[in-house]
Structure 1
Amino acid sequence: MERQVVQRAKEAFLSGRARGLEFRLQQLHALQSMITEKETEICTALKQDINRSQYDTPLLELIGIENEIKLAIEKIAEWTAPRPVEKNLLTISDEVYVQPEPLGVVLIIGAWNYPWALTLLPLIGAIAAGNAAVVKPSELSECSSLLLRALLPRYLDKDLYPVVMGGAAETQELLRLRFDHVFYTGSSAVGKLVMEAAARHLTPVTLELGGKSPCYIDKDCDIRVACRRITWGKFVNCGQTCIAPDYILCEPCIQSRVIECIRRTLLEFYGADPKCSADYSRIINQRHFTRIMSLMEGYTPVVGGQSDPSQCYIAPTVLKDVPPHSRLMQEEIFGPVLPIVTVSDMDDAINFINEREKPLALYIFCSNKKEAKRMIEETTSGGVTVNDVMMHYSLSSLPFGGVGQSGMGSYHGKHTFERLSHHRACMLRSLNMESVNLARYPPQDRRRARRAKMALRSPLIDMSKRTLIWAVVATIIGMGLFVTLLVILLIAAGLNCTCWYWRGFYN
Structure 2
Amino acid sequence: MPDNDFHFLKTLPTRQREELLSTGRPSVEEVKKQLLKLKSILLEHEAAFTWALHSDLGKPAFESFSSEIAVLLNEIEYVCKHIAKWNRPVRSRHLKLGYVEAIQRMRHPYGSVLIIGSWNYPVQLTLMPAIGAIACGNRCVIKPSEHAPATAELLKEIINRAFPPERLHVVTGNAQTASLLTSAPFDLIFFTGSGKTGKAVAEQAAKQLTPVILELGGKNPCIMDETGYSKTAIREIVWGKFLNAGQTCIAPDTLFVHHSIYEKALNEISTSVSAFYGEQPQASRDYGRICTIAHFQKMVEFIGQGIVRHGGVHDRNDRFIAPTVVTDIKPESPILQEEIFGPVLPVIPYTDLKTLLSSGSLQRDTLTGYIFSKNKNQIQLFKEHMRSPTISVNQVIHHAASPHIAFGGVGRSGYGAYHGKAGFLAFSYEKTDYKTYHYLRFQGKFPPYSDQNMKALKKLRKWLL
For residues 10-61 of structure 1, give each alpha carbon's deviation from its aligned partner in whole angstroms, at most 9, with x where no partner exists: 3322323453333212111111111121111111111111111111112111
For residues 403-435 of structure 1, give each alpha carbon's deviation from its aligned partner in whole angstroms, at most 9, with x where no partner exists: 1111111111000110111112321223x42x2
Deviation at 1:105, TM superposition (A): 0.9
Matched, 1:145 2:123: no
Conservation of the 8 A alpha-carbon contact between 2:364 and 2:387: no
Matched, 1:440 2:424: no
Matched, 1:389 2:396: yes
For residues 373-404 of structure 1, give each alpha carbon's deviation from its aligned partner in whole angstroms, at most 9, with x where no partner exists: 22101222132100011122122121111111
Per the normalisation by structure 2, the TM-score is 0.94
Conservation of the 8 A alpha-carbon contact between 1:5 and 1:162: no
Instruction: Name the CA distance, whole Å, in 2 between partners of 1:222 and 1:92.
Output: 65
**Partner residue in 1 for 2:356:** 349
- Structure 2: gaps (5+ residues): none
Residue identity matched to 2:443: L
Residue identity matched to 1:193: A
- Residue 338 of structure 1 is aligned with which of 340, 345, 349? 345
Deviation at 1:85, TM superposition (A): 4.5
Instruction: Name the CA distance, whole Å, in 2 between partners of 1:247 and 1:23.
Output: 45
Pairwise mapping of residues 444-483 of structure 1 onto structure 2 (< 5 A)?
A: 444-458=449-463
Q: 1:103 to 1:298 in 2, by over 3 A?
A: closer
Q: 1:91 to 1:79 in 2, by over 3 A?
A: farther
Pairwise mapping of residues 80-479 of structure 1 onto structure 2 (< 5 A)?
A: 80-85=87-92, 87=94, 89-90=96-97, 93-352=100-359, 356=363, 358-430=365-437, 432-433=438-439, 435-458=440-463
* SS at 1:284 equivalent: coil
* SS at 1:94 equivalent: strand
Q: 1:180 to 1:4 in 2, by over 3 A?
A: closer
**Partner residue in 2 for 1:51:** 58
* SS at 2:252 equivalent: coil
* SS at 1:235 equivalent: helix
Deviation at 1:186, TM superposition (A): 0.3
Deviation at 1:439, TM superposition (A): 3.6
Q: What count of residue pairs does the alignment treat as equivalent?
A: 458
Q: 1:303 to 1:355 in 2, by over 3 A?
A: closer
Deviation at 1:76, TM superposition (A): 1.3
Conservation of the 8 A alpha-carbon contact between 1:399 and 1:410: yes
Residue identity matched to 1:410: A
* SS at 2:378 equivalent: helix
Conservation of the 8 A alpha-carbon contact between 1:24 and 1:128: yes
Instruction: Name the CA distance, whole Å, in 2 between partners of 1:111 and 1:276.
Output: 27
The structure that is strand-richer by fraction is 2
Per the normalisation by structure 1, the TM-score is 0.86
Q: 1:402 to 1:90 in 2, by over 3 A?
A: farther
Please say which of residues 126-135 and 5-14 is displaced more in the overlay.
5-14
* SS at 1:381 equivalent: coil
Instruction: Name the CA distance, whole Å, in 2 between partners of 1:220 and 1:336.
Output: 26
* SS at 2:214 equivalent: strand
Q: Which structure has the larger Rg?
A: 1
Deviation at 1:441, TM superposition (A): 2.7
Q: 1:187 to 1:91 in 2, by over 3 A?
A: farther
Q: 1:306 to 1:284 in 2, by over 3 A?
A: same
Instruction: Name the CA distance, whole Å, in 1 between partners of 2:112 and 2:321.
Output: 41
Deviation at 1:86, TM superposition (A): 6.6
Residue identity matched to 2:421: K
Q: 1:16 to 1:439 in 2, by over 3 A?
A: farther
**Partner residue in 1 for 2:39:** 32
Instruction: Name the CA distance, whole Å, in 2 between partners of 1:91 and 1:292.
Output: 70
Conservation of the 8 A alpha-carbon contact between 1:275 and 1:315: yes
Deviation at 1:437, TM superposition (A): 3.4
Instruction: Name the CA distance, whole Å, in 2 between partners of 1:343 and 1:146.
Output: 47
Percent same amino acid among aligned pairs? Answer: 36
* SS at 1:148 equivalent: helix
Conservation of the 8 A alpha-carbon contact between 2:191 and 2:214: yes
